[in-house]
Structure 1
Amino acid sequence: MPGGRLTQQDRRQIAEGLAEGLTQTEIAARLNRPLSTVTREVARNGGPDGYQADQAHQATRDRARRRPADPGSRDRKAVTGLEEEFTAVMIDTGLSRMTARVLASLYLTDSGSATAAELTRRLQVSPASVSKAIGELERQELIRRERDPRRRRDRYVIDADAWFRGWTASARQNTVLADVARHGAATLGATSPAGMRLQDIGDFFDHVGQAMLQAAEEWRQAYAAKQLKGDGSFN
């Protein structure tokens, strides 16, 4: 099912799709899974040329056994403090308090996902407040929406690409700002004081936007390499 764990049969279909020369987008569509689920699965299990379904399934089971067995044993006071700290940092980046609380809640939940109703209960706030926060996070591409067919409701998900998407969305906004500023410079006259000011602004946002996109792509490549190594190291 979309959003659930990959089964051994799913992994065999991924291997068959790769052998057929299908793109990972096509494989994701065949499985009715998010593209990020397929790309992450392939990247951490040998890449497109080395992916083997049965080995990937066993490796996933081995990783699951190494995880902490009882999340409920965590120090609740420490977790609450961490959530408050995370929320404060997100507010400092420009998010509203409620939006920061929703984002923190999703990040600090083992599943990395929740329905709007679950967030409402967890944060003890109104459904309208959660809905508004979710809208802001979706606009910034910091979360994605998945349909839960069993419960006929949406789940809001944090994944490995969340910050990549949010960062690139911000970079694109800088590019738009650069274009608007440069258009303004041409309209006001490139040699006028206002025109020169806008030209400088346009050059600045263009430079920053391009640097952000390059940094994001470098991170994605490093992350993919880390997944292939499977040891958590970027070296």
Structure 2
Amino acid sequence: MPGARLSEQDRERIASGLADKLSYGEIARRLDRPTSTITREITRNGGPTGYRPQQAHQATIQRARRGTPSPPRADTPPDDLMEAELLERAIRAGMPRTAARVHHDLMLSEDGRRTAAELTHRLKVSPASVSLAVNYLLQQGFVRRERDPRRRRDIYVIDDDALYQAIMTSERQTLQTAQATMAAAETYGLDSPVGQRLAKMAAYLERVSLDIMESAERWRTLLR
């Protein structure tokens, strides 16, 4: 798991679990890690019959130094490949890594709900990191906050309407940019070269944003 590296001792315990014929899920439970983390660790380092903890640890260090992930093995479970691909695409699209991990964990949870404590425990990150991540996701409309009055804690939720809200939030921000650009155009003068250029940019941003918002509203029923 990104941000929660396995130690050499963890890898020794994985090797011991494999020798004892334990399932990946049982090994993960004993190490208090997601099963997907153990699956990726084993499949990228020789598989269940070829896993060597010391070699795996050194290979991980070398990959970190190179800054490039190892290619997936042919026998990597499809679900793990899919999850990793979704996470990496969110990061490449500009979402901060911890926010992407929080969003990813919520999206793939059974009911789309987690408390901050649950996220901290599952992702092996600090409460402060989770707080920053969920604040980003709330601002962007990717999640919403609910209050548990009995236990006085916040619950973060991703539901069927989250994608719609995220799109609308993004396009409202683009509209604000269009308005600021038009104001700058008027400051320079709409008959000046700079003013005309800015006015065209503002008109384009406004029209595209309104079209996207209209389309998002029209197809919102697909999310229900």
Q: Same fold (TM over 0.5)?
A: yes
Aligned length: 151
Shift of 1:88: 0.6
Aligned 8 A contact 2:167 2:216 in 1: yes
Aligned equivalents of 2:81 and 2:123: distance in 1?
Answer: 14
Aligned equivalents of 1:218 and 1:178: distance in 2?
Answer: 23
Shift of 1:215: 1.1
Pairing 1:178–2:174 present: no
2:218 alignment counterpart = 218
Aligned 8 A contact 2:161 2:223 in 1: no
Aligned 8 A contact 2:179 2:202 in 1: yes
Shift of 1:83: 2.9
2:148 alignment counterpart = 148
Deviation per residue, 1:16-41 (Å, 9 max, x gap): xxxxxxxxxxxxxxxxxxxxxxxxxx
Higher relative contact order (CA 8 A, sep 6+): 1
Deviation per residue, 1:185-215 (Å, 9 max, x gap): 1110112121111101101110111111111
Shift of 1:162: 0.4
Aligned equivalents of 1:98 and 1:132: distance in 2?
Answer: 9
Aligned equivalents of 1:148 and 1:199: distance in 2?
Answer: 48
Deviation per residue, 1:120-163 (Å, 9 max, x gap): 10000111111100010000011000111232201000011101
Shift of 1:180: 0.9
SS in 2 for 1:147: strand
1:4 alignment counterpart = none
Deviation per residue, 1:57-96 (Å, 9 max, x gap): xxxxxxxxxxxxxxx8xx8444444332221111122101
2:94 alignment counterpart = 94
Shift of 1:105: 0.5
Aligned equivalents of 1:156 and 1:219: distance in 2?
Answer: 25
Aligned 8 A contact 1:116 1:155 in 2: yes
SS in 1 for 2:109: coil
Q: TM-score, normalised by structure 2?
A: 0.63
SS in 2 for 1:202: helix
**What residue ranges of structure 2 are gaps of 5+ in the alignment?**
1-24, 26-34, 40-76
SS in 2 for 1:114: strand
2:116 alignment counterpart = 116
RMSD: 1.7
Q: TM-score, normalised by structure 1?
A: 0.61
2:163 alignment counterpart = 163
Shift of 1:178: 1.1
Q: Which has the larger radius of gyration?
A: 2
**What residue ranges of structure 1 are gaps of 5+ in the alignment?**
1-71, 225-235
Residues 141 and 223 (structure 1 numbering): CA distance in 2 closer, same or farther, change over 3 Å?
Answer: closer
Aligned equivalents of 2:181 and 2:196: distance in 1?
Answer: 10
Aligned equivalents of 2:89 and 2:158: distance in 1?
Answer: 17
Shift of 1:223: 4.2
